[in-house]
Amino acid sequence: MEKLTKREITILKLITQGYDNAEISKTIFISIHTVKAHISKIMKKLNAKNRTNAIYIAIKNHLIDD
């Protein structure tokens, strides 16, 4: 499993809190396009099928606090 960047971990934590792409964009002051790019990289690095699967993998592997 490829290591996540600090920004990717931040975005993953926001996803676990139920934030959608627009809310993530406003919260960390980046464009929605950039949020989508980060999420795409997260999914690829974790080999996740969807956002929920990415959260599960991240928690299971202690990449974020559960």
Report d(CA 42, CA 32) in Å as an integer. Answer: 15
pLDDT per residue as tens, the chain (66 positions): 789 999 999 999 999 999 999 999 999 999 999 999 999 999 999 999 999 999 999 999 999 875
pLDDT (0 to 100) of residue 37: 98
What the block records as the tokens of 18 is 């139920």
What are the structural domains of the chain? 6-60 (1.10.10.10)
Q: Please state whether the predicted TM-score (pTM) of the whole model is above 0.75.
A: yes
